Structure 1
Amino acid sequence: MGHWLYRNIVEPGKLPLFLALTSFVLSFVVTRTITRLIRAGKGPFRNVTPGGMHIHHVVPGVVLSTVGGFGAVASGRHGVGSAICAVIFGVGAGLVLDEFALILHLDDVYWSEQGRTSVEIVVLTAALVLLVLTGSLPFGVNDLTEEEAQSRGLLFLNVAVNALWSVVALLKGKVRTALFGIVVPLVGLVGAVRLARPNSLWARRFYRRRPKARARALRRVYRHDRRWTRRVRAVQDWIGGAPSPRS
């Protein structure tokens, strides 16, 4: 384990990424725990309202992300300074993305249905960074054996092909599939060969004169959403808390 950690995390310079991801996840978990306690009226935590103005945690998040980001650029990938900046950036990014829905809608939708977007973005971001972190990059490792060089070259080719399929999946309106398809084998291919979502660029371009294909796409989206929407929302509620009922 220690050898793998050094060869694939430390030597390629991915230790700051590991620290940033860890602090990002912890920042989100701690923040959601505190906001849920505030919502339930439990514990010592209260909203910060100087002068009657509610200060959302996206504000210190932006400050920390800015400090950590510029600090990381200035310090490079190695050294204590880089590690500290990575932690600062991760904490800030966790605070910012926890309120991503507020930024997107320019409204306080934290505990509404629209607020689910924040949880979705955080989970997707953490998953993608984890995949990049645990994957073996084809660059950055010294003194490779011939076998290691060959395997990393094949990995690079695989990532390039996956990226191509992911672009097609993205054009077909499958954003999650496209993002995961870059680093997960065959995911992008599955999204690329299946029917496009009816409102996607692909559907508007290629299904315009194919009513049967468009009808099949509509039926597939309906069945998919009916099967998975409730389950996805249950997981989101477990992670971030259930939205407030509409008044």
Structure 2
Amino acid sequence: MGHWWERNILEPGKLPLLLALTAFVVTFLVTRVITRMIRAGRGPFGNVKAGGLHIHHVVPGVLLTVVGGFGAVASDRHGAGGAVAAVVFGMGVGLVLDEFALILHLDDVYWSAEGRKSVEVVVLTAALVLLLLAGFSPFGVNDLTQDELQDRGSAIGTIAGNFVFALVALGKGKTRIAVFGAIVPLVAIVGAVRLARPGSPWARRFYGRRPRARAKAALRAYRHDRRWARPRRALQDWIGGKPDPRPLRLPDRR
């Protein structure tokens, strides 16, 4: 275990990344536990207010992110200062992304269905950092041999090709696949060759005069969403808490 730790974490200088990821995940989980206790009216915690203003935890999160980011830039990556800065940065990112939906909508949607976006972004971020920690590099740079790395043309061609695949997957409305495909090229290739989701820029551009392709894409999207939407919502609710039910809107009879 000691040899693995030395070879895979310390020597490549990945300790700050590991500390930042750990602080990020722990901060997010602790924050969700506290907010769920506040929501249920349990425990000694409560909303932070100053002069009648509700201070969301994204505010200290931004401050911690700024301090940790500048501290990491100014400190030695292998020293204690770099480790402390990484922990501070991870804590800040955990607080900020926990309220990602609030930033996106510019509204307090923490316990609404839109608030699930925060949990989704946190899970996606943690997964991507884990891939980086495991040695994956963006656009498949880690897959290049030493000879290819020395050949600048081959390296640039590989990076450009993987970038195009990820961009095509994004144009087909497959955001998650495009993001993961930037780290794992095979994922981007799969997303690029499969049918686009209805309403995506690719579908509007290339399926406009192909009714069979539109119907096939719509059927595939329906089957995919029917299979995975409910388990995904259940996982998000288990991690972040179940959102409040939407209020019923009575029809206007004027």
User: Does TM-score exceed 0.5, indicating one fold?
Assistant: yes
Contact 1:136 1:152 in 2 (8 A): no
Contact 2:49 2:55 in 1 (8 A): yes
Q: Which residue of 2 aligns with 1:90?
A: 90
Q: Which residue of 2 aligns with 1:7?
A: 7
Q: Deviations over 1:183-226 (max 9, x none)?
A: 33632222111101122222122222222212211111111111
Matched ranges for 1:29-108 at <5 A: 29-108=29-108
| 2-structure distance, mates of 1:162, 1:5 | 31
Q: Which residue of 2 aligns with 1:119?
A: 119
Gaps of 5+ in 1: 139-147
Larger mean CA deviation between 106-115 and 221-230 belongs to: 221-230
Question: Under a length normalisation based on structure 2, what TM-score does the superposition of the two structures give?
Answer: 0.85
Contact 1:37 1:45 in 2 (8 A): yes
Question: Under a length normalisation based on structure 1, what TM-score does the superposition of the two structures give?
Answer: 0.88
Matched ranges for 1:1-247 at <5 A: 1-135=1-135, 160=159, 162-184=162-184, 186-247=186-247
TM-aligned CA deviation for residue 181 of structure 1: 2.1
Give, as a single letter, the amino acid of the residue that structure 1 aligns with 2:82: S
TM-aligned CA deviation for residue 78 of structure 1: 2.1
Percent identity reads: 69
Contact 1:8 1:137 in 2 (8 A): no
| 2-structure distance, mates of 1:152, 1:87 | 33
| 1-structure distance, mates of 2:236, 2:149 | 36
Give, as a single letter, the amino acid of the residue that structure 1 aligns with 2:246: R
Gaps of 5+ in 2: 139-144, 248-254
| 2-structure distance, mates of 1:76, 1:176 | 34
TM-aligned CA deviation for residue 231 of structure 1: 0.8
Q: Which residue of 1 aligns with 2:251?
A: none
Q: Helix, strand or coil: the match of 2:51?
A: helix
The root-mean-square deviation of aligned C-alpha atoms, in Å, is: 2.4
| 2-structure distance, mates of 1:122, 1:95 | 10
Q: Deviations over 1:150-207 (max 9, x none)?
A: 8999xx89x8465443222112110111112233363222211110112222212222
| 1-structure distance, mates of 2:131, 2:62 | 25
TM-aligned CA deviation for residue 34 of structure 1: 0.2
Contact 2:98 2:119 in 1 (8 A): yes
Change beyond 3 A, Cα 1:151–1:123: farther
Change beyond 3 A, Cα 1:203–1:39: same
The number of aligned residues is 236
